[in-house]
Amino acid sequence: MNRSLPFEIFRYCAILAALAVTLVPTLWMASMAFKPIAEWSASGGDLTWWPKHPTLDNFRFIFGTSTSDLIVALDRTAGKPILSSLLSAVFGTLIAMVCGTAAAYGLSRFGSGQNLPLALIQLRLFPPMAVMIPVMIMWAFLGIMDSWWGLALIYGIVTLPFAFWLMKTFFDDMPREIEDAALVEGCSRFRVFMKITLPMMRPALASAALFVFILNWSDYLIALLLTTKEWVTIPVYMASLSSSMTGQLYGAKAALGLIAAVPPVIMGIAIQRHLVRGLTFGALKQ
- List of the chain residues with pLDDT < 50: 1, 282-286
Q: Quote the radius of gyration of the chain (alpha carbons, Å).
A: 24
Instruction: Say whether 70 sits in a helix, a strand or coil.
Output: coil
Instruction: Spell out the domains of the chain, with CATH numbers in brackets.
Output: 5-54 (no CATH), 78-284 (1.10.3720.10)
pLDDT of residue 286: 39
The tens digit of pLDDT for each residue in 101-143 reads: 998 888 888 876 667 777 777 777 777 777 888 889 999 998 8
What is the spatial distance between Cα 108 and Cα 82, in angstroms, rounded to a whole number? Answer: 37
Instruction: Say whether 271 sits in a helix, a strand or coil.
Output: coil
Hey, which residues does 243 pair with through a beta bridge?
247
What is the spatial distance between Cα 284 and Cα 286, in angstroms, rounded to a whole number? Answer: 6
Name the packing angle between helices 250-260 and 262-270 (round to 10°).
20
The tens digit of pLDDT for each residue in 35-74 reads: 887 777 655 555 677 888 888 888 888 887 765 555 555 6
Name the phi and psi angles at 12, rounded to 5. Answer: -70, -35
CA angle 76/79/85 to nearest 5° reads 105
